[in-house]
Amino acid sequence: MNGIRLVVGLGNPGPEHQLDRHNAGFWFVEALAHQRGATLAREGRFHGDVGRARIGGAQVFLLEPATWMNRSGQAVVALAHFYRIMPDEILVVHDELDLPPGQAKLKKGGGHAGHNGLRDIQARLGSADFWRLRIGIGHPRDLQPAQQVADFVLNRPSREQQRAIDEAIDRALDCLPELVAGNAAAATMRLHTRN
């Protein structure tokens, strides 16, 4: 496989959304930038905050779209086309309702499962052939049965849930060098056996 050249974290911009479960992708990219001493800065032509990090021997672009979740593809396509990054060289990090807090899973391709950010990226890229890192946030049917999904993802997790999500992000960060190097099987096995 090709190595990863672009890591995209999905979320909604603005301080009012910073702690929302839906911003788990932003949390991952910010943790990665911090770990690698990278800075994220607004780049208008790419419709988001962009940084560059060295992972292993490779330079990797970091992107947080500033377009709102349901138009994330606008930012992804702008940067990917400019730097000639292929879909299978892109890792999209997003919140996942179908995994409990504390779990993270890697997969390549597949559907969008109703996730508006993924739906827009697929539509604008014209391909579903990108990698996804799914950060578990749990589902309201299991955690807060009275809450609608839309309200659930736009609210902050409990302290215990946040701790579990942060631990999953740390484990996923540990596997990223292998994915960047093109060793997806090792990265996937390492992450999934540590969940």
Residues annotated as catalytic are: 22
162-165 own/partner pairs: CB under 8 Å, 24+ apart: 162/101, 164/100, 164/101, 164/102, 165/24, 165/27, 165/101, 165/102, 165/135, 165/136, 165/137
Residue 117: its H or E element:
helix 116-125
First CA to last CA distance, the chain: 24
Residue with tokens 């702690």: 19
152 with 21: CB under 8 angstroms? yes
CB 97 within 8 Å of CB 148: no
